């Protein structure tokens, strides 16, 4: 695209009443004496609208928030996105990590101020082109909680700097400027490049990715996106790859090869950002809506979340899988799965249900973790809620400890978020004592001409479900901060 054409497109974006208002050069932060600035598009209408934060390319040493990203600003404006296009400090005047820090500053600022521009801070996508793609991908894969967004789009993004420099046989001029290093590809240089390569930080639990890349890109080879997609999928992270056949690196030339890529981008963003978070509950009767904490938990979820309770009474970690319930739960295509078993795994429950906490229980619980991740869901382990059995001193005496300790150790080993409901429920009940905790007992279902039924000290009344569900919700906020804004 020629400079005059780019200027004309920007003029349209700035002045067209049909497309809404673009405000320019808003300060989003300061780095010393440098004012960090962005442009924002504010759509017509009440909103809130989905948000896109756009980071330009230019080899970390050039580029601009308007000219470089003009091909993407028009379709995002037409699609009613509140978009923020940022400038950041450039090399060689500013070496790494200045640009990286600026992107993080911009994300924090947008989250705090999006609503002022009709944007929805719960629906944010990062879009980065070339060097900007490396910056946004690196920001997200390193996984700081305050950097969490709902979608990531890498456009011709270099995600493996070691591989790219090995292809060249040296550091590129862009990287020598950025890192203030000689061109020689030494072991020390490789170590630095590994640290700056998003592909080396991929882990489960990242937001969905879209990668767009020209197949004839000579600056950032197409294989970079192919390998990055494979790494994301290997870790259970949703990732789509759009290949623009024959296209080179420069985004301003892509329309000649496939003008439809912009419509694909917008459609993917709309679908991804419109999805409600889906939480599935898996477990035994102490998790169900009827007898457990499920309903108490569900009542604390805000709009934007769908909770489906697939817990089944009488099931253990073993029988739940063997009877096919686990596959039905995964068929819900959850984003998160809360998993609690233990009560029916104990000795005396029969060979179809019993598991050994040191061996078979761990094997089955590991299956839940592995299969959830393969399905693209994030597993969250929950230790078993205690039974309400008190000692003569008025303290809870739990018979679930071997299973509880097994779950806690497994969560630590497999880097799975943990809700220690066992400990939390004991703390609440110890404080209440035997008499006050009777309020948690479900109503007795005594029949005529039969002895009175014994109080149920395992399951929950509506009051008990409310209290225990709140404990789960409170700890879920801490275990998975990305969900905190969706929980009351």
Confidence of residue 49 (pLDDT cuts 50, 70, 90): very high
Name the strand (E) or helix (H) holding 74: helix 70-78
Least confident of 22-26, 201-205, 401-405, 453-457: 201-205
Average pLDDT, the chain: 93
Confidence of residue 210 (pLDDT cuts 50, 70, 90): very high
Section 379-398 average pLDDT = 97
Q: For residues 269 and 52, is the Cβ–Cβ distance under 8 A? A: yes
Query: CATH 3.40.50.1820: which residues of the chain?
Result: 3-274
Name the H helices within 354-461.
360-374, 401-414, 421-436
Please say whether the dihedral angle defined by the alpha carbons of residues 60, 64, 70 and 76, taken in this order, is positive or negative. positive
Confidence of residue 205 (pLDDT cuts 50, 70, 90): confident
Please say whether the dihedral angle defined by the alpha carbons of residues 72, 77, 78 and 82, taken in this order, is positive or negative. positive
Name the strand (E) or helix (H) holding 455: none
Beta strands in 9-162 (DSSP E): 21-31, 34-42, 49-55, 82-86, 119-129, 151-155
Name the H helices within 236-349.
255-258, 261-274, 294-298, 317-322, 325-330
Confidence of residue 148 (pLDDT cuts 50, 70, 90): confident
pLDDT of residue 448: 67
Section 63-85 average pLDDT = 94
Confidence of residue 65 (pLDDT cuts 50, 70, 90): very high
Confidence of residue 16 (pLDDT cuts 50, 70, 90): very low
Residue 403 pLDDT greater than 80, yes or no = yes
HSE-up (13 A, CA, CB side) for residue 276: 12
Q: For residues 312 and 320, is the Cβ–Cβ distance under 8 A? A: yes
pLDDT of residue 204: 73
Confidence of residue 237 (pLDDT cuts 50, 70, 90): confident
Class of domain 277-486: alpha beta
3-274: CATH superfamily: Alpha/Beta hydrolase fold, catalytic domain (3.40.50.1820)
pLDDT of residue 352: 97
HSE-up (13 A, CA, CB side) for residue 51: 26
Closest CA to 127 of 80, 71, 85: 85
Distance between CA atoms of 159 and 135, rounded to whole angstroms? 9
Confidence of residue 15 (pLDDT cuts 50, 70, 90): very low
- Per-residue three-class SS string for 104-128: HHHHHHHHHHHHHHCEEEEEEEEEE
Q: Between 3-15 and 70-78, two packed helices, what is the crossing angle to 10 degrees?
A: 30
Q: What is the pLDDT of residues 28-47, one digit of tens each?
A: 999 999 999 999 999 999 99
Neighbours of 152 (CB within 10 A): 28
Distance between CA atoms of 143 and 159, rounded to whole angstroms? 16
Cα 401-402-403 angle, rounded to 5 deg: 90
Spatial neighbors of 135 by CB under 8 A, at least 6 apart, are 55, 88, 99, 100, 103, 128
Q: Is the pTM of this model over 0.75?
A: no
Confidence of residue 180 (pLDDT cuts 50, 70, 90): very high
Q: What is the pLDDT of residues 293-349, one digit of tens each?
A: 999 999 999 877 889 999 999 999 999 999 999 999 999 989 999 999 999 999 999
Spatial neighbors of 14 by CB under 8 A, at least 6 apart, are 22, 24
pLDDT of residue 127: 98
Section 416-435 average pLDDT = 98
Query: CATH 3.40.50.1110: which residues of the chain?
Result: 277-486
Distance between CA atoms of 307 and 322, rounded to whole angstroms? 24
Q: For residues 330 and 377, is the Cβ–Cβ distance under 8 A? A: yes
Q: For residues 311 and 281, is the Cβ–Cβ distance under 8 A? A: yes
DSSP 383: P
Residue 6 pLDDT greater than 70, yes or no = no
Section 252-270 average pLDDT = 96
Confidence of residue 2 (pLDDT cuts 50, 70, 90): very low
Q: Report percent pLDDT > 70 for the chain.
A: 95
pLDDT of residue 482: 83
pLDDT of residue 306: 87
Distance between CA atoms of 229 and 224, rounded to whole angstroms? 9
Residue 1 pLDDT greater than 50, yes or no = no
Q: For residues 86 and 28, is the Cβ–Cβ distance under 8 A? A: yes
Distance between CA atoms of 249 and 155, rounded to whole angstroms? 9
Structure tokens at 329: 């739960």
Q: Report percent pLDDT > 90 for the chain.
A: 84
């Amino acid at each position: 695209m020629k400079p005059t054409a780019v200027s004309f497109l920007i003029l349209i974006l700035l002045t067209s009443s049909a497309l809404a208002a673009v405000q320019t050069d808003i300060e989003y932060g300061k780095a010393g004496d440098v004012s960090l600035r962005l442009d924002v598009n504010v759509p017509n209408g009440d909103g809130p609208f989905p948000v896109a934060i756009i980071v330009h390319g230019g080899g970390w040493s050039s580029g601009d928030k308007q000219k470089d990203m003009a091909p993407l600003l028009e379709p995002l404006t037409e699609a009613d996105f509140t978009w923020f296009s940022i400038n950041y400090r450039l090399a060689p005047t500013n070496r790494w990590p200045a640009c990286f820090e600026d992107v993080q500053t911009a994300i924090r600022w947008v989250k705090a101020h999006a609503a002022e521009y009709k944007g929805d801070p719960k629906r944010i996508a990062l879009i980065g082109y070339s060097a900007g793609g490396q910056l946004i991908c690196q920001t997200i894969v390193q996984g700081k909680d305050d950097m969490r967004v709902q979608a990531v789009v890498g456009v011709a993004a270099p995600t493996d700097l070691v591989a790219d420099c090995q292809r060249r046989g040296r550091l590129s001029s862009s990287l020598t400027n950025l890192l203030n290093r000689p061109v020689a590809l030494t072991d020390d240089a490789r170590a630095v490049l590994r640290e700056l390569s998003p592909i080396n930080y991929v882990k489960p639990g990242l937001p969905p990715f879209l990668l767009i890349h020209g197949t004839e890109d000579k600056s950032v080879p197409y294989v970079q996106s192919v390998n990055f997609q494979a790494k994301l999928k290997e870790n259970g992270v949703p990732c789509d790859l759009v290949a623009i056949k024959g296209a080179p690196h420069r985004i301003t030339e892509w329309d000649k090869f496939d003008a439809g890529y912009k419509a694909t981008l917008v459609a993917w963003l709309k679908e991804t950002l419109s999805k409600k978070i889906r939480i599935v509950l898996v477990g035994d009767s102490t998790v169900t809506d009827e007898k457990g904490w499920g309903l108490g938990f569900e009542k604390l979820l805000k709009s934007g979340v769908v909770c489906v309770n697939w817990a089944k009474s009488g099931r253990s970690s073993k029988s739940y899988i063997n009877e096919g319930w686990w596959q039905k739960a995964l068929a819900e295509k959850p984003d998160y799965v809360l998993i609690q078993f233990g009560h029916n795994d104990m000795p005396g429950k029969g060979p179809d249900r019993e598991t050994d906490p040191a061996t078979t229980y761990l094997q089955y619980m590991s299956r839940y973790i592995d299969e959830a991740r393969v399905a693209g869901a994030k597993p969250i382990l929950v230790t078993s809620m205690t039974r309400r059995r008190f000692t003569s001193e008025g303290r809870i005496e739990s018979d679930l400890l071997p299973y509880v300790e097994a779950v806690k150790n497994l969560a630590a080993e497999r880097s799975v978020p943990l809700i220690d409901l066992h400990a939390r429920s004991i703390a609440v009940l110890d404080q209440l004592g035997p008499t006050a905790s009777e309020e948690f007992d479900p109503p007795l279902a005594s029949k005529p001409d039969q002895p009175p039924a014994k109080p149920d000290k395992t399951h929950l009344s509506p009051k008990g479900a409310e209290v225990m569900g709140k404990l789960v919700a409170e700890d879920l906020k801490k275990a998975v901060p990305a969900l905190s804004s969706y929980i009351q």
